[in-house]
């Protein structure tokens, strides 16, 4: 997720427990979506859509935190 901000993500994960939790939860959902799409876990289309939306909300929140962090360093 957001690979172009790798250094900022690393720093934020060290400094901000909430960010670290969001990042970890996003990665868990990403794996779950991947497993569902590959047929490794059974999910209905609605369940899969819900996971994708939750994942996107977490990504948006993480992105905002990264942008705020970058502004604070400038």
Residues 22-66: tens digit of each pLDDT: 999 999 999 999 999 999 999 999 999 999 999 999 999 999 999
Write out the residue range of the structural domain in which residue 67 sits.
3-73
Cα-based torsion angle of the residue sequence 69, 60, 12, 15 in order, rounded to the nearest 10 degrees: 100
Q: Which residues contact 32 (CB under 8 A, 6 or more apart)?
A: 41, 51
pTM higher than the cut 0.85: yes
Domain count along the chain: 1
As a whole number of Å, the end-to-end CA separation of the chain is 23
Residue 30 C-alpha from the chain's centroid: 8
Cα-based torsion angle of the residue sequence 38, 43, 44, 47 in order, rounded to the nearest 10 degrees: -110
- Please, are residues 19 and 12 in contact by the beta-carbon 8 Å criterion? yes
């Amino acid at each position: 997720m957001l690979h172009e901000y790798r250094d900022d993500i690393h720093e934020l994960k060290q400094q901000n427990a909430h960010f670290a939790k969001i990042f970890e939860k996003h990665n868990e959902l990403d794996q779950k979506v991947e497993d569902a799409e590959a047929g490794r876990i059974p999910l209905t289309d609605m369940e899969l859509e819900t996971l994708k939306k939750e994942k996107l909300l977490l990504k948006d929140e993480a992105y905002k935190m990264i942008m705020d962090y970058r502004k604070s360093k400038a």
